[in-house]
Amino acid sequence: MVICNHVLEHVEDDRIAMAEILRVLKPGAAALLQAPIAAHEAETIEDPSVTDPAEREQRFGQDDHVRLYGQDYASRLRNAGFDLDCVKWTEQPELFGGAPERYGLNPEEILFLGKKPREAV
């Protein structure tokens, strides 16, 4: 399993990073691919020409972010090749042994569980 927790918004080319995560997984293995998501944005906002930390903070929410993911984050992961499950832990608390607070999970955050497809037989 790969855990990628709030990393991709810092990476210059997230599509290359997503492809590399998928590449290193064994078929059927999973990755937890968390990133901050702007619920009010349909599409990811990114502009590689923005290098000023103050402008990055204003546009992307933090001075070291290079993008602000929108509601298209799941489709970006699927386009990279992941079989994706989007789970809101508050709707499936049994997945976490009834103690999600132990894991520091935000009740508003969706968990993006990407799996590498199994190879065709």
Task: Judge whether residue 100 has pLDDT over 70.
Answer: no
Predicted TM-score (pTM) of this structure: 0.88
- pLDDT at 109 (0 to 100): 84
Q: What is the mean pLDDT of the chain?
A: 90
**Region of poorest pLDDT, from 8-17, 39-48, 67-76, 81-90:** 81-90
- pLDDT at 121 (0 to 100): 37
Question: What average pLDDT score do residues 19-48 get?
Answer: 95
- pLDDT at 3 (0 to 100): 95
Task: Enumerate residues 6+ apart whose C-beta is below 8 A from 112.
Answer: 32, 33, 34, 35, 73, 74, 77, 84, 85, 86
The radius of gyration of the chain from alpha carbons, rounded to an integer in Å, stands at 15
Angle at the Cα of 87 from the Cα atoms of 67 and 69, rounded to 5 degrees: 10
Q: How far is CA 114 from CA 29, 45, 46, 76, 95, in A?
A: 8, 22, 23, 11, 16
In percent, how much of the chain has pLDDT > 90? 76
- pLDDT at 51 (0 to 100): 94
